[in-house]
Chain A
Amino acid sequence: MSRNLLARKLKNYLMTSLTLLTSALAVIPLASILHAAIVEGGRTLLEAGVNFLMELPPTPLSSSVGGVAPALLGSVLATSLAIIISGPVAFLTAFLVTEFPNSIFSKAFEVVVRSFSGIPSLIVSMFVYSVVVVRMGTQSLLAGSLSLAIVVLPYTYVYFTSAMRSVPETVREAAMSLGMSRFQALRHVYVGVSRKYILTGVLMSCVRAFGDTAPLLFTMGFLMNSVFAGLLQPSNSLPVLIFAYALSPYEVFHRVAWGATLLLIVIYLTLFSLTRGLLRGVRL
């Protein structure tokens, strides 16, 4: 073995190890986050048990931690609505932009929408507040969902464009050479090939919507004395509840905030792994 080759192999070995170490460093925070959430939130969840999902939140003088039913339900509904509103829009626009990347509209759309994933979502909240809430005369689950839909649209869009782009050029060409139209290719080929990415995109958007506080702050209201009031009535959500409770001085509120945080993470991880498991099943 020549010295040169040895040096190259050594370098390869060194750089590979360094890379792996750096990669490990990147995922350490996740471990730390999970640790903190499980230690703090686990106690609450163990204490409250399944009632945590079904009871009303506590007040400062409450002796038990109660539950987060209004917030949980509000979050689930607002997230579903937001995805139902933004998903199809994001899907179709992503399709157009990836299929016709040279059109001036595609270019403008790409830049504008991607940039909007970077503005503080509080601003969207204020926009929806002035345009929808003030006109309707009340904050509502619907207004909150609209606000969320606007905030997640750029994310859903970005995930969907990567999904479309994950379709290899060869597959694309094959579909075309079979004489498929673009819509046919989309329906029968692209969606199949990129389903994993699409599903990930939907899921990530769900999670993003599920965990965002700011868009709901002025649009959705707050509800803690009943579980559900109606689509056009105020509602509650987990992140807003966490914020309202984490910043208060009362210990029972802190326990609920940590419990809700763990709940948020558990829901997220469950959804995530479920989807992965399901996908593996489909692949066989």
Chain B
Amino acid sequence: MIFLPKSDKVVFYSILPLVIGVLGFFITVGFFMLHQALPSFMRFGVDLLVSSVWSPAEDPGREVYGLAAPFLGSLYVSALATLFALPLSVALTFSTTEILPRHVAGLLRNVVEVMGGLPTVVYGLWGSLVLSPYLRDSVMKPLHNYLGFLPIFSCRPITGYSVLTASIVLATATTPYVTALLIEGYGMIPAKYKEGILSLGATRYEVFKLLLGLLRPYVIASSLLGFSRALGETTIVALTIGNAVKPTLCIFDPTHTIPSLIASQFESARLYTYALPTLFAGGSLLLAVSLGVSYVGIKMIYTWRGRIHV
């Protein structure tokens, strides 16, 4: 910061207190969570992470909790959602930047933005009432019947509330965010690259493919940020995942994510001694993972941005 001109320094130092204030505030919230979670960490230790039970009792001595299922569920569902969202986002980016005529592209972009802003309650209700019965009858049952020998399709789809349903709805809701990031990154590639490629007589697809190659770190970073956002989504998942405390690999099984566990158990958590601290422990765990993933993602974006503008 020593090399900045004086007027810039004034700007920097006048806003800095605000930045530090907000930063401090969010760190306080983080500590608040950890503080609330402490009794649970002290009581259950490592068991909290490796076992999966949710067994409250009025007598604190008989309470047992383990977050393995919801924690793995969170990672699994968010990873699947990101996996589904990525091709959609890349396709939307290609369509709006290279293929479609300008006004159609603008329209599509608006539609995607509309989707990005829709309240998550709406997605959740749609997922549980419209999508899950449809998925159960037209997707899960055939897949289970023909490909049931694969572990991920091995369980019988009973209700439609499942890992698959939750990840698809989550992917739908995350796509606009990842798309926005990708379009932003795509726009950041200096024009000279595209001009260069075009002057060699490349087709549109080839241009996009080459530029996408250039964009690869950015794509990975956007996926990480999308993943991190999917991790914390509560409403959608709570309404579509089926809420069962059972670790599973099969995508037709119901399971839990940490936010859906919080949403389901919060109502009576305060009736018990360790239930609420355990929910907070889950929240802290989620925050830690989310912080880590976001950090890597953002770092990648910064590095890439520095490299591309040479």
* Chain A residues in the interface with B (C-beta under 8 A): 8-9, 11-12, 15-16, 18-20, 22-23, 25-27, 29-30, 32-33, 36-37, 89, 92-93, 95-97, 99-101, 103, 105-124, 127, 130, 150, 153, 162, 165-166, 169, 181-183, 200, 203-204, 207-208, 210-214, 239, 242-243, 246, 261, 264-265, 268-269, 272, 276
Contact = CB atoms under 8 A, between A and B. Distances in A.
A173 to B, nearest CB: 12
Contacts of B180: 162
A89 B22 contact: yes
B121 A211 contact: yes
Which of A111, A127, A130, A239 neighbours the largest number of chain B CB atoms within 10 Å of its CB? Answer: A111
Contacts of A26: 88-89, 91-92, 112, 172, 175
Contacts of B110: 272, 276
5 contacts: A99-B11, A107-B302, A109-B22, A114-B294, A264-B119
B193 to A, nearest CB: 14
A119 B234 CA distance: 9
Interface stretch (B44-52, B158-166, B243-251, B259-267): B259-267
Contacts of B172: 26, 29
Interface residues of B, number: 82
Given A120-B262, A246-B125, 17 more contacts: A12-B206, A19-B91, A20-B100, A29-B172, A36-B125, A36-B126, A92-B18, A99-B8, A114-B228, A115-B228, A119-B283, A162-B184, A165-B184, A169-B309, A213-B121, A261-B125, A272-B117
Given A19-B99, A118-B232, A123-B33, A268 B117 contact: yes
Overall SS of chain B's interface: helix
A111 B298 contact: yes
Nearest to B225: A114
Contacts of A32: 126, 130-131
Interface in B257-295: 258-259, 262-263, 266, 280, 283, 286-287, 290-291, 294-295
B122 A93 contact: no
A114 B235 CA distance: 19
